[in-house]
Structure 1
Amino acid sequence: MQVSNAQVDAIESDEYFQKRSLKGGAVGWVLLVSLGVAYTVSGDFSGWNYGMEHGGWLGLAIAWLVMGIMYLCTVFGLAELSSAIPTAGAGYGFARSAMGRTAGFATGLALVIEYVCAPAAISTFIANYILALGLLPEGTPPFAIVVAVYALFTAIHAIGVGEALKFMFVVSAIAVVALAAFVAGIVPHFDMANLFNMPADESFGSSEALPMGIAGVIGSLPFGIWFFLGVEGVPLAAEESANPKRDMPRGLIGALFILAATGFCSLLFAAGGAGASMVASSDAPLVDALNAVGQGGLATFVNWAGLAGLIASFFSLMYAGSRQVFALSRAGYLPNVLALTGKRKTPTVALAIQMVIGLVLVAVMRDGDLILNIAVFGACVSYALMNLSHIILRVRNPKMERGYKTPGGVFTTGLAFCLSCVAIVSTFFVDMVAACGVLGVYAVGMVYFVVYAKKHLVANAPEEEFAALNAAEAELR
């Protein structure tokens, strides 16, 4: 049977959705906070510090603040949207309800790019960490470690969402404890002068405080994102949450405040203890900072815990990617075979496809930093579209049932939208190849949507039903 809904859509049976369903009630708000922290915690251990090579310590601190405001405003908007539209589609579902199918697919595609590329990049960092720690025989190929990491953690995800997130909770806790230990060990050696020991260049506005001037601050913005990247993925657990209207806002906001605190501690105390000039180019800034001040034993512990942080982020981002692919596929935006779930109600096909694509990315690109820059660009595009979705739904359907309301309303998400657009532009200052690569993927994806997917959508998928309900309510206003 078919109905007309701007075009002819499929109406699928209960059996279709039974084969494409997740395990409800498996996740409480504490595990959601842990999920949000796990997405991002690896960014506290390394990567962020390269922003100081662009803008010095103060430039990166400004980037942390500006991007932190963007994430705070975005999270407030997502807390409202996820309490009103609690589906596994999350960002794609929000944009679908607000702006239609094309914008919904565009948002979902941006999130897929982020959640597929980010774990691929982190898998290379995990391989490098394992080799640096001497855990495997010398000469072990890094790609073999990447394959093993993907296979192991894909299998754990397939066992069940409750088991997976409890494992992630433990690993995330280890990483947070290590960050606290780092702060305790470095505080006695903190010196404010160390923050500003990078030489100024001749660029416009350069000074001792901003050694690379105004352009350096702009170039630091994408690295400010590293302190928060991925936290917006918490709403992807909506269909597996015990009480999404209550738990989603708690999970999102709780995770963001923890990440803001841990990120700023890494930024402040690593540079303040060992000096910005040394930390800026370090592959392991927390470890090198501790070694520089004579805390070798603590540095070893933090080094091991850094591996735990990388595993937590890899594991959680695989979760996010599989749920986004699952939701898009269930509704027909991607081939619906990708939404099939196993006996334990986990999206096994989506997990397997994500693993294959991740391995191909690593094998072909062989550059974790480049792959991660692609993920950052995709994330920034999704932030702009999700914030715009909140604004549109507030204007068009102010009476939509919401379990939580964003403080400041559309002003809050309007600010986040503007900052998201700034973040998109700033990525071109750091990695033109990554930005243009995402645009190329977007072009191919949109052609696929127009030529094929648009003609094979499922009208009674949860995200489509929410969109139809919101449209009906808006007409009655």
Structure 2
Amino acid sequence: MKHEEKTQLQKGAAGWFLLATLGVSYVISGSFAGWNFGFAVTNWFGMVIAVALMGLMYFCLVLCLAEMSAALPSAAGGYRISRKVMGDTGGFATALAVLLEYSIAPAAIVIFIGQYIEALWGINGPLVYAVFYVVFIGVHLVGVGEALRFMLVVTVFAVLAIVVTLLALGPHFSLSNLAASSYGASTEPNLFSFDVVSVWAAFPFAMWLFLAVEGVPLAAEEAKDPAVDLPRGIIGAMLFLLVSAVLIVVFIPGAASSQQVGDYGAPLVDALKHVFGEESVLADVVNLVGLAGLIASFFSIIFGYSRLVFAMSREGYLPRFMSAISSRKVPHWALIIPGVIGFICSLSGKGELMINIAVIGATLSYALQSVSYILLKRDYAELHRPYRAPGGQKTAYVTLVLSLLALTSCFAYDLVAALIALTLMGLGVGYYVLLGQKRA
């Protein structure tokens, strides 16, 4: 009983709206950079198909997670179900894949933050990375309520930057801009031409518009009413992201041409400069506020990994001390230790490599969680489910097929990231076989 009291998070800190905001904040940095590189491997219509398929994958995944997390709410998120239906080993494999995504992604994002700060004020490097890790882990240590409210404010600024950009570029939209593409430039531009292989190659970039929304259930134990708030929160976040993705992939290349957008480092800002000139004040403002998008994702994913590590420790997958909580009901070691590891990874300065490793962990976890849902429906039909995903097992099979296609695409795009991800997964499994299995 004493141990349970020491590993109990603050209940009732988040309603469905804060959970939905958390889901958006996980993802929002992907709207400011990354997705546009898909135009280097396919044309506009191919990219639209890739975004539509990845949006479908995430929407089906979210529906399955909404059902599973409402039935068995836990800071472990979807992997608690994996453990229930696939045993300790299956649960650990799923948790490890999610942990790979959530521990490496902040390292990538803080590198991108450094690049933004360098463009704005001319400073970058390890000191910048360290300051952001220390400050934002510090905010989380103050308390979950304070952390989530801070995250809400930052996310609102990021969303406003996207809205302002879309409104400004809307009048400059042209179908001819969409047809212009660096992919297949030797052929006559055709708005609706594409090939299957190029769409498949664009999957990793399309994922950036949705990556990490699946982390909402990690806040399950801090929700006011998990059975109601978790489905509303994660589905609400996903619906917002679907609308946002469609508008971004249409209006940004529609104003600046898909050919040029594919080369932009900061597509929203660079598209504004293309339309309004290099000295555009609006572009400078969006550039500054765009930093809020990166901060929102950095901040919220730190929240996500801390809850995951906390749950893995509490269930014996990681050393027990990492599930200890402070007097403010915060898992302090679960915040600090992965933060130190993430900071060390950020010293590589290779943001794209880091995010590709995270994407590989993510797609692997999606496949495992969809299998978990299928097994749960088959073997635990009697389990009380406050929310039921439309389509049932068919919905999970859609997630499974698309996640495996996305996983193969990631391996083809960046073999180095794939080898690093496999090595890290191998080390994790080795730890589990030697030590973790005895604790679980």
TM-score w.r.t. length of structure 2: 0.97
Aligned counterpart, 1:250: 232
User: For residues 344 and 293 of structure 1, what CA distance do their matches in structure 2 show?
Assistant: 49
Whether 1:110 and 2:133 are equivalent positions in the alignment is no
- Residue type of the partner of 2:114? A
Q: Which residue does 1:8 correspond to in 2?
A: none
Paired residue secondary structure (1:359): helix
2:273 is equivalent to residue 286 of structure 1: no
Q: Structure 2: give runs of 5+ residues left out of the alignment.
A: none
**Number of the residue aligned with 1:386:** 369
Q: Rate the CA distance shift 1:304–1:202 in 2: closer, same or farther, 3 A.
A: closer
Q: Which residue pairs with 2:431 in the alignment? A: 448
Q: What secondary structure sits across from 1:226 in the alignment? A: helix
Q: What is the 5 A alignment of 1:70-89?
A: 70-89=57-76
Contact 1:77 1:387 in 2 (8 A): yes
The one-letter amino acid paired with 1:226 is W
User: Equivalents in 2 of 1:119, 1:272: separation in Å?
Assistant: 31
Deviation by residue 1:77-130 (Cα, 9 ceiling, x = unmatched)? 000000001010012201001111101000000111100111110001111111
Which residue of 1 is the match for residue 255 of structure 2? Answer: 273
Cα distance, 1:212 vs structure 2: 7.1
1:132 corresponds to 2:105: no
Residue 153, structure 1, aligned to residue 136, structure 2: yes
Displacement after TM superposition at 1:141 (Å)? 4.2
Structure 1 residue 201, shift from structure 2 partner: 3.4
Give the total of aligned pairs. 438
Tell me the equivalent position of 1:424. Answer: 407
Matches within 5 A, 1:296-375: 296-363=280-347, 365-375=348-358
Give 1:149's aligned amino acid: F
Contact 1:201/1:211 (<8 A) preserved: no
Aligned-partner residue type, residue 331 of structure 1: E
Q: Distance in 2 between matches of 1:440 and 1:60?
A: 31
User: CA separation in 1, counterparts of 2:59 and 2:303?
Assistant: 22
Match of 1:460 in 2: none
Residues 176/439 of structure 1: CA separation in 2 closer, same or farther (3 Å cut): same
Q: In structure 1, how many angstroms separate the alpha carbons of the residues matched to 2:287 and 2:134?
A: 24
- Distance in 2 of aligned mates of 1:381 and 1:200: 29
Match of 1:62 among 49, 52, 68: 49
Distance in 2 between the 1:275 and 1:202 partners? 13
Match of 2:420 in 1: 437
Q: Which moved more, 1:182-191 or 1:428-437?
A: 428-437
Deviations 1:192-247, CA, capped at 9 Å, x for gaps: 110111255399x9973477743221110011110000100000000001000000
Aligned residue number for residue 406 of structure 1: 389
Give the corresponding residue for 1:20: 7
Q: Match for 1:222: what amino acid?
A: P
Identity %: 43
Q: Could you tell me whether the CA contact under 8 Å between 1:200 and 1:206 is conserved in 2?
A: no
- Taking a change above 3 Å as real, the CA distance of residues 172 and 306 of structure 1, as seen in their structure-2 partners, is same
What amino acid sits opposite 1:453 in the alignment?
Answer: G
- Code of the residue aligned with 1:274 in structure 2: it is A
2:75 matched to 1:91? Answer: no
CA distance in 1, matches of 2:131, 2:182: 43
* SS of residue paired to 1:452: helix
* Greater radius of gyration (CA): 1
* In 2: Cα distance, 1:61 partner to 1:212 partner: 10
Unaligned runs of 5+ in 1: 1-13, 458-477
- 2:398 is matched with 415
- Residue 298 (structure 1) shift: 1.8
Whole-angstrom distance in 2 between the partners of 1:141 and 1:68: 34
Q: Structure 1: how far apart are the matches of 2:229 and 2:196?
A: 41
SS at 2:276 equivalent: coil
Q: Report the 3-state secondary structure (helix = DSSP H, G, I; strand = E; otherwise coil) of the residue aligned with 1:108.
A: helix
Q: Distance in 1 between matches of 2:321 and 2:304?
A: 18
The CA distance in 2 between the partners of 1:124 and 1:202, in whole Å, is: 32
Tell me which residue corresponds to 2:126: 143
Distance in 2, Cα, partners of 1:453 & 1:354: 17
Q: Is residue 150–residue 355 contact of structure 1 (8 Å, CA) maintained in 2?
A: yes
Query: In structure 2, how many angstroms separate the alpha carbons of the residues matched to 1:200 and 1:85?
Result: 46
Distance in 2, Cα, partners of 1:202 & 1:258: 34
Letter paired with 2:205: F
Return the alpha-carbon distance in structure 2 between the equivalents of residues 259 and 206 of structure 1.
33
Q: Is the 8 A contact 1:55 1:211 kept in 2?
A: no
